[in-house]
Structure 1
Amino acid sequence: MRLHRNLCFAVIDGLTLIFNEGKYADKVIQQLLKRDKRWGARDRGFVAETTYDMVRWKRLYAEIADVKEPFDRDNLWRMFAVWATLKGIKLPDWKYFEGTPLRKIKGRFDELSKIRKYKESIPDWMDALGSEELGEALWSKEITALNQQANVILRVNTLKTTKEKLQEELFDLDIETDVLNHYPNALKLKERANVFSTEAFKKGHFEVQDASSQLVAEFLNVEPGMRVIDACAGAGGKTLHLAALMENKGQIIALDIYENKLNELKRRAKRNGAHNIENRVIDSTKVIKKLYDKADRVLIDAPCSGLGVLRRNPDAKWKLQPEFIEKIKGTQQDILQQYSRMVKVGGQLVYATCSILPSENQKQVERFLKSDAGEHFVLLKDKNVLAHQSGFDGFYMALLERKN
């Protein structure tokens, strides 16, 4: 591979914003890709994937380059030289790479690869927490899997097309996909491609949604004609899946505290042809109280640490703090206590997170079932999805039923 100066400069500019100004990697990369209209797919792919790669391995590369935060541009070029050397890319004759110690870089990499927190490029506290909650062996396997680049997975919108028709439609655009066993509406891209520019996407024939995330709506056992509440709907990835599973029959009430996210759901629902969704902003406790005992099904896709989705959000390793995880556990339990009251007798509830930590998952459900609010619920089943076993995001889901 030959390095091009303008592409490398884009990466360095992006890393400056992500590392030093706390900007979100996905937003920064979106802006970078608009920088030069002459860039082709390969150029844009280099900028996006190299930036993500350096964010993912920040601690390891900084340690090898012997640089400390905040990183000035010289520091970032030194880290870039580490990235290129470890990838086997020949460094061009640029001033930024003068005196790069190639042999020392490889030697340091071999040394640091024996220490998990450096090898997997994670903060000390995260390494300790993962080890404490999952055990040494399981945590080692899981964090290795969470450092792999995520596949692009599509969820076929069965309100508008079938899996077979979508495969053909994409194949005609030279986008090849694989069917995934045990994921009825999923297609995996064989190679990364900009699927958002396709007519199939614009017509609402699919959404981009990880395979593990697709399991959640199915776990809720919805049927056409039911009244279903998606209590933490956000921009509505799972809401739209519920609408498809319900064949647009019945009612879905999508709740969230952020109106802008529900507005995005409204746009997506229109594109998807999902007509049975009603959005409600949680601007007071009255919104929840009005729905007590009214729902056949309630989905609580709870706010969480997001440790199960590090593959697609590698900068979360550096933004996340242990205090936040402690605080979010309190929020999760509060939501379970309050929102569970919307389930009618005989109805069912799914509690789900994109975390791999038992303290956010099984232990939250156990605590809820022992509380006054949970005494009328029983756990029917739960599912723990780990990235190193599934090859997809880490997730947890528990199905509970309200008894008399």
Structure 2
Amino acid sequence: MRLHRNLCFAVIDGLTLIFNEGKYADKVIQQLLKRDKRWGARDRGFVAETTYDMVRWKRLYAEIAEVKEPFDRDNLWRMFAVWATLKGIKLPDWKYFEGTPLRKIKGRFDELSKTRRFKESIPDWMDELGRKELGDAIWSKEIAALNEQADVILRVNTLKTTKEKLQTELFDLDIETDFIDNYPNALKLRERANVFSTEAFKNGHFEVQDASSQLVAEFLNVKPGMRVVDACAGAGGKTLHIASLMENKGQIIAMDIYGNKLNELKRRAKRNGAHNIEPRVIESTKVIKKLYDKADRVLIDAPCSGLGVLRRNPDAKWKLQPDFIEKIKKTQQEILQQYSKMVKAGGQLVYATCSVLPSENQDQVETFLKSEAGENFTLVKDKKVLSHKSGFDGFYMALLERKA
């Protein structure tokens, strides 16, 4: 591979914003890709994937390059030289790469790869937490899997098409996909492609949604005609899946504390042809209290550390802090205590997170069931999805039933 100056400059500019100004990697990359209209798919792919790669391995590359934060541009070029060397890419004779110690880079890599926190490029506290909660052997496998690039998975919108029809439609555009066993509405792309520019996407035939995330709506056990509350709906990935499983019959109340996310859900619902969704902003506890004992199903897709989705959000490794995880665990329990009251007698509740930590998952469910609010509920089943076993995001879901 030959390095092109304008593409490398884009990567360095992006890393400056992500590392030094705390910007979100996905937003920065979105902006970078609009930088030059002449760039083809391969150029844009290089910028996106190289930026993500360097964010993912920040600690390892900085250690090898012997640079410390905040990184100035020279530091970032040194880290870039480490990235290129380890990828086997020949460095051009640009001034940024003068005196790059190629053999030393490879030696340092071999040496640092013996220590998990460097090898997997994670903060010390995260390594300690993962080891404590999952055990040394499982954590080693899990964090290695969470450092791999995520596949692109589509969820077919069955309100508008079928898996077979969508596969054919995309094949005609040279986008090849595979079915995934035990994921009834999923298609996995064989190679990365810009699926958002397709007519199929514009016509609402699919959403991009990881396979593990697709399990949650199925777990909720919904049927057409029910009243379902998606209590932490966000921009509505799971809400839309529920709508398709309910065949547009019944009522879905999609709630969130952020109105802008629900506005995005409205746009997506229109594109998807989902007509049974009613967004409600949680401005006070009144919104919740009005629905006490009224829902057949409640989904609590709780705010969490997001440790199960590091493959697609590698910058979360550097943004997350231990005190945030402690705070979010309190929030999770408060939400369970309050929102569970919306489930009517005989109804069901799913508590889900995209975390792999038992303290955010089964421990929260156990605490809830022992509490006054949880004494009328029983655990029907739960599912722990680990990335190193599934090949997809790390997730947890528990199905609870309120006694009739």
- TM-score normalised by structure 1 residue count: 1.00
State yes or no: 1:58 paired with 2:58: yes
User: Could you say which residue in structure 1 is the equivalent of 2:227?
Assistant: 227
Whole-angstrom distance in 1 between the partners of 2:107 and 2:195: 41
User: Could you say which residue in structure 1 is the equivalent of 2:166?
Assistant: 166
Whole-angstrom distance in 1 between the partners of 2:250 and 2:16: 49
CA offset at residue 301 of structure 1? 0.1
Q: Within 5 A, what are the aligned runs for 1:167-316?
A: 167-316=167-316
* Cα-to-partner distance string for 1:45-77 (whole Å, 9 max, x where unaligned): 000000000000000000000000000000000
Q: Which amino acid aligns with 2:315?
A: D
Whole-angstrom distance in 2 between the partners of 1:258 and 1:20: 27
CA offset at residue 179 of structure 1? 0.3
Whole-angstrom distance in 1 between the partners of 2:41 and 2:186: 25
CA offset at residue 20 of structure 1? 0.1
User: Could you say which residue in structure 2 is the equivalent of 1:354?
Assistant: 354
Q: Which amino acid aligns with 1:95?
A: K
Q: Which amino acid aligns with 1:318?
A: W
Q: Which amino acid aligns with 2:73?
A: R
Whole-angstrom distance in 2 between the partners of 1:244 and 1:285: 29
Q: Which amino acid aligns with 1:376?
A: N
User: Could you say which residue in structure 2 is the equivalent of 1:128?
Assistant: 128
User: Could you say which residue in structure 2 is the equivalent of 1:371?
Assistant: 371
Whole-angstrom distance in 1 between the partners of 2:13 and 2:260: 29
CA offset at residue 182 of structure 1? 0.3
CA offset at residue 253 of structure 1? 0.1
Whole-angstrom distance in 1 between the partners of 2:261 and 2:96: 42
User: Could you say which residue in structure 1 is the equivalent of 2:14?
Assistant: 14
Whole-angstrom distance in 2 between the partners of 1:26 and 1:222: 33
Whole-angstrom distance in 1 between the partners of 2:284 and 2:5: 53
CA offset at residue 139 of structure 1? 0.1
Q: Counterpart of 2:275 in 1: which secondary structure?
A: coil
CA offset at residue 109 of structure 1? 0.1
* Cα-to-partner distance string for 1:170-202 (whole Å, 9 max, x where unaligned): 000000000000000000000000000000000
Q: Counterpart of 2:264 in 1: which secondary structure?
A: helix
CA offset at residue 342 of structure 1? 0.1
User: Could you say which residue in structure 1 is the equivalent of 2:95?
Assistant: 95
* Cα-to-partner distance string for 1:303-326 (whole Å, 9 max, x where unaligned): 000000000000000000000000
Whole-angstrom distance in 2 between the partners of 1:19 and 1:77: 13
CA offset at residue 359 of structure 1? 0.1
Q: Which amino acid aligns with 2:147?
A: N
Aligned residues: 404
* Cα-to-partner distance string for 1:95-118 (whole Å, 9 max, x where unaligned): 000000000000000000000000
User: Could you say which residue in structure 1 is the equivalent of 2:108?
Assistant: 108
CA offset at residue 162 of structure 1? 0.1
CA offset at residue 152 of structure 1? 0.1
Whole-angstrom distance in 1 between the partners of 2:348 and 2:50: 44
Q: Which amino acid aligns with 1:214?
A: Q
Whole-angstrom distance in 1 between the partners of 2:88 and 2:350: 47
User: Could you say which residue in structure 1 is the equivalent of 2:24?
Assistant: 24
Whole-angstrom distance in 2 between the partners of 1:341 and 1:265: 25
Following TM superposition, where does structure 1 have runs of at least 4 consecutive aligned residues deviating by more than 3 angstroms? none
Question: Where in structure 1 are there 5+ consecutive unaligned residues?
Answer: none
User: Could you say which residue in structure 2 is the equivalent of 1:386?
Assistant: 386
CA offset at residue 94 of structure 1? 0.2
User: Could you say which residue in structure 2 is the equivalent of 1:44?
Assistant: 44
- TM-score normalised by structure 2 residue count: 1.00
CA offset at residue 8 of structure 1? 0.1
Whole-angstrom distance in 1 between the partners of 2:140 and 2:314: 17
Q: Within 5 A, what are the aligned runs for 1:119-158?
A: 119-158=119-158
Q: Which amino acid aligns with 2:257?
A: I
* Cα-to-partner distance string for 1:2-55 (whole Å, 9 max, x where unaligned): 000000000000000000000000000000000000000000000000000000
Q: Which amino acid aligns with 1:330?
A: K
Whole-angstrom distance in 2 between the partners of 1:221 and 1:8: 49
Q: Counterpart of 2:232 in 1: which secondary structure?
A: coil
Q: Counterpart of 1:278 in 2: which secondary structure?
A: strand
Whole-angstrom distance in 2 between the partners of 1:323 and 1:278: 35
CA offset at residue 210 of structure 1? 0.0
Whole-angstrom distance in 1 between the partners of 2:17 and 2:286: 41
Whole-angstrom distance in 2 between the partners of 1:171 and 1:285: 48
Question: Where in structure 2 are there 5+ consecutive unaligned residues?
Answer: none
Q: Which amino acid aligns with 2:224?
A: P
CA offset at residue 145 of structure 1? 0.1
User: Could you say which residue in structure 2 is the equivalent of 1:69?
Assistant: 69
CA offset at residue 221 of structure 1? 0.3
Q: Which amino acid aligns with 2:53?
A: D
State yes or no: 1:328 paired with 2:328: yes
User: Could you say which residue in structure 1 is the equivalent of 2:400?
Assistant: 400
* Cα-to-partner distance string for 1:146-165 (whole Å, 9 max, x where unaligned): 00000000000000000000
Whole-angstrom distance in 2 between the partners of 1:255 and 1:345: 21
CA offset at residue 124 of structure 1? 0.2
